[in-house]
Amino acid sequence: MTVFLQRIEDSLEHLVANGKLVEQALTGMQGSYVELLTILAVGLLACLPVLLPRRGRQWMRHLNQAVAFFIFVLVVYTCMGVFGMLRNLIRGVNEIGHENILALYFCSMPVTIFVTSMIFGPSFCGWTCPTGALQELVAAIFGRRRGAAAQTGRWRPWLMAGTTAAVFLLGVAYLTQTRILFHEDSGIYWSEVLIAILFLVAWRRSVWDRPLRKLRLVSLLVILLAAIAGWQITSPVHFTFAKVWDPASALATLVVILASLSVPHAWCRYLCPWREVIRWAAGHSVRRIESVPSACQHCGKCSSVCRLDAIRDGAVDRAECHLCLRCVDNCPASAIRVVDRWRAEP
Amino acid sequence: MIVHRLIVTALALACCEQCLPGAITFDASGLATAVGADQYWPSQRCGPGGAACVHAASSQPIEEWHFRSLGKGIYQKGVAVWASPAVAVVGGRPLVFVGGCDHTMHALDLLAKQRLWFKVTNGAIRDAAVVGEVAGRAAVIWGSSDRFVYAHDAATGQPLWSRELVAATATQGDVDVAAPLVHDGIVYVACFVYDKAFATNRQQAILSALDAATGTVFWSQAIDTGPVNAPAGREIDGRFVLFLAARKGLVRALAVSRQGPSPLWTFQMPHEVLASPAVEPDGVAPAVFLGSKFGDLIAIDARTGVQRWRRMTGNWVDNNACVTRLNGENVVFVGSYDRCVYALRASDGGELWRRRLGSEVFSAPSVFQVAGQMRVAVACLDNHLVVLDAAGGAVETCYYVGEPQWDSISKGETLWSSPAVLQAGDATVLIHGSYDGVVYVLPLRASVLEVSPWRPWQIWVEMAAVLVLFCAAATIVRLRQLGHRQRPVASRY
């Protein structure tokens, strides 16, 4: 078994490690690693939802996600995953006034996402985020539409949770035998909690789904405290961003993928710390989704297409919305629409 | 320049743990002969094999110590925070000599856990110091980017001599002085002088032979037009032979003596070489081992310069290999940027084991013995110092040695410091000048590093604790939810 797993790891390592198409940061500012391309890419990809017409918008969104995945995974170096961005933000803030170029380097990515979320809403989550795109892609290929777990009987969620747990435990056992795990590898604790969540949701999804989403805040606080303490914890999908092979992150990614087959966007729903930041920014954003209750036909189409259960009877829960605009595109009565609320001039 | 020197001196005085009056103190607190007879460090990695290990008898354990020096500098390609340390037992006291980007050579007393003396130079110290016997006493000799080679009394820090390797010119750039090599009262030192007035093909690397007692230059000869790495050397057929690798990949063997160098052979490596050669310290048909940016490790016959075997790794081999005796045969250890440490048979390059670590292995390996077992220590870019079982490659333990203090570093352009070992029974310690600005002195008692033992079951215990915490949080959330449901009306009014 160990030999078999070793071969899998070797294959993954050869596939992923050193997978960057460029040896050094593109458009890096002179003498530093501030990647202007990262900032430009995130900014442009966040702006796109504003520019696109309703027709064919979902295809464009998937294209947008694919381009973002390509850029983040194969080209840019600054993006270090959801945990890394928060860690970088702390480091960058500490460098302001001392090493401003380093401050710019560390803050560029998180600040760009934060600012675009304040303006364009949580479009980063729905249109750009590689982790979200990966979950959506896997669910689209292997899973069914939203509510697949509920619609295919009570055994499926338990089976998925059990399978995910088995894969995870096997992976951890393998890692403990082949390498030393550092505190950087603490991402496996997030995987463990995600699996525990899967079991709870499999048990009573209607009861646990909403309250467990508060764990995002706990996740955020833990990551911030770790960053302040100087601990570097790598997040799921981090291994695809880095040039260094990170098996613990790869295992965490595998768990996120399997979890997304059971609960759509499981990582984003329950544990993504960056989602909590974006939620706050998007709550104050200029661009937002609003529903018109008088026009709503209560057909339920919007809630059936929303993969995050962020809309019910035409009412949008903005704290959970990823601004994927599926509900807008699928509403037959145009009762849900995107509005830009700029503050009026005094 | 004087102002700069004053500033650096003031900073060194201000920032170090022990601010010493003048440059020299010596704490004669009865610790002498605690570790054993005097042992020196005559070349960059101690000996031709590059094991980077000094042996001594033990009687008193050495405690863990983190020596901090200057704070942040400005990142400069090729300048490590610390050069590799040199370890020596001088007058029965275990001492570490380490220089770095702070322009200062520090002499650290491991038993007293204090800096014994320091010497500020006018340039960064890019490569290791060496310790050899000069006129009956131990001398530490090192080169600095200020074009000088310095020799100081190892125990007291008293200056013995300093020698300017090349005369200053108005158009001169950095001078890259490699680690010296001391043999038979002669100091061999290679340096590369970059002069902006010259075309690239007229830049010069110079090999010099100095009298270890006085610093008098016996001879000095231009050997290349690019940077050269520190020499390794051993006696072959009654002659002392130096093996020098130029950064461009040309390896030279020179029979050297007081009279001058005599070229023996050259060998062109397939790509750029940042490392110094490792030479089999024993045997009648020794081989030279060297890795390159092409990712291969090549064994060259030390007598003829003919390639014996060649072994590819998955990525660059930037630092020195190390060859040592293990289970009756010579084994070559080398770290690669493919994140692996390799143990290869020196005779034919056959792989004994390969161990993948957390990140790129940038350091040269150190090989030593603890509790009767051979171990290998390497440093990785995952910011850990890892100790492996030399026989099987199993990871024994590791120690976190901090993140690079410079954020804008680029992989593969600087040779960061490699670990060194004082092997003295219970007093065995691993010394590593990390790129976080700290020199770590880590005791190696029994079979594992005492400071950070790794046990695979730890992760299961921690995961169980996380699960318990999660269950407790979920229960609280559920109870609060039930509580809210039971009193909605009352709370509203």
Q: What is the mean pLDDT of residues B411-431?
A: 86
Tracing tokens 């029979």 back to the chain, one arrives at: B255
CB B63 within 8 A of CB B72: no
Is residue B210 situated within a structural domain? yes
List per-block mean pLDDT (blocks of 10 residues) for chain A, which spans 346 residues: 72 64 52 61 75 84 87 70 82 79 78 87 88 88 56 75 93 78 80 93 87 90 86 76 73 91 91 91 85 86 89 85 89 86 60
pLDDT in the model for residue B228: 94
Q: Does B473 touch chain A (CB under 8 A)?
A: yes
Are A182 and B358 an interchain contact pair (Cβ–Cβ within 8 Å)?
A: yes
Put residue B370 in one of left, alpha, beta given phi > 0 → left and psi -120 to 50 → alpha: beta
Is residue B483 situated within a structural domain? no
For residue A196, the chain B residues in CB contact (below 8 A) are 467, 470-471, 474
The ipTM value here is 0.80
Domains along the sequence of chain A with CATH: 2-131 (no CATH), 145-280 (no CATH), 288-339 (3.30.70.20)
Is residue B336 situated within a structural domain? yes
Coil, strand, or helix at residue A214?
A: coil
Length of chain A, in residues = 346
Per-residue pLDDT at B257 exceeds 90: yes
Q: A301 is written with which tokens? A: 């189409």
Per-residue pLDDT at B14 exceeds 50: no
Q: Give the torsion through C-alpha atoms of A300, A303, A306, A312, to 10 deg.
A: 150
For residue B471, the chain A residues in CB contact (below 8 A) are 196
Per-residue pLDDT at B26 exceeds 50: no
For residue A179, the chain B residues in CB contact (below 8 A) are 356-358, 395
pLDDT tens-digit readout, B159-193? 999 999 988 888 888 789 999 999 999 999 999 98
> How far is the C-alpha of A87 from the C-alpha of A274, rounded, in Å?
11
- State the burial class of residue A330 (Cβ atoms within 10 Å of its Cβ: 0-12, 13-18, 19+): middle
Half-sphere exposure of B94 (CA within 13 A, CB side): 32
- At B200, the pLDDT band (50, 70, 90 cuts) reads low
Q: State the best of B470, B475, B476 to mutate against chain A, taking most chain A CBs within 10 Å.
A: B470
CA distances, A45 to each of A241, A322, A329, A337 (Å): 18, 14, 19, 20
Enumerate helices (H) and strands (E) in chain A, giving the number of each. Answer: 18, 4
Per-residue pLDDT at B381 exceeds 80: yes
Q: Does A7 touch chain B (CB under 8 A)?
A: no
For residue B410, the chain A residues in CB contact (below 8 A) are 24
Are A207 and B408 an interchain contact pair (Cβ–Cβ within 8 Å)?
A: no
The whole-chain average pLDDT of chain B stands at 83
Q: Does B394 touch chain A (CB under 8 A)?
A: no
pLDDT in the model for residue A250: 86
Are B359 and A244 an interchain contact pair (Cβ–Cβ within 8 Å)?
A: yes
Is residue B66 situated within a structural domain? yes
CB B75 within 8 A of CB B101: no
Is residue B325 situated within a structural domain? yes
Per-residue pLDDT at B147 exceeds 60: yes
> How far is the C-alpha of B315 from the C-alpha of B136, rounded, in Å?
45
- Return the percentage of chain A with pLDDT > 70, whole number: 82
pTM: 0.62
Longest dimension (CA), chain B: 103
Q: B109 is written with which tokens? A: 């007393």
Is residue B473 situated within a structural domain? no
Query: Which residue in the set A13, A33, A180 is minimally distant from B398, CB to CB?
Result: A180
Domain count, chain B: 1
Are B339 and A245 an interchain contact pair (Cβ–Cβ within 8 Å)?
A: yes
Is residue B487 situated within a structural domain? no
Q: How far is A293 from chain B (nearest CA, A)?
A: 25
**What's the CATH number where B267 sits?**
2.130.10.10
Q: How far is A16 from chain B (nearest CA, A)?
A: 13
Per-residue pLDDT at B2 exceeds 60: no
Range of the domain at B446: 2-457
- Return the percentage of chain B with pLDDT > 90, whole number: 48
Tracing tokens 């500098």 back to the chain, one arrives at: B73
For residue B411, the chain A residues in CB contact (below 8 A) are 243
Is residue B425 situated within a structural domain? yes
> How far is the C-alpha of B204 from the C-alpha of B221, rounded, in Å?
10
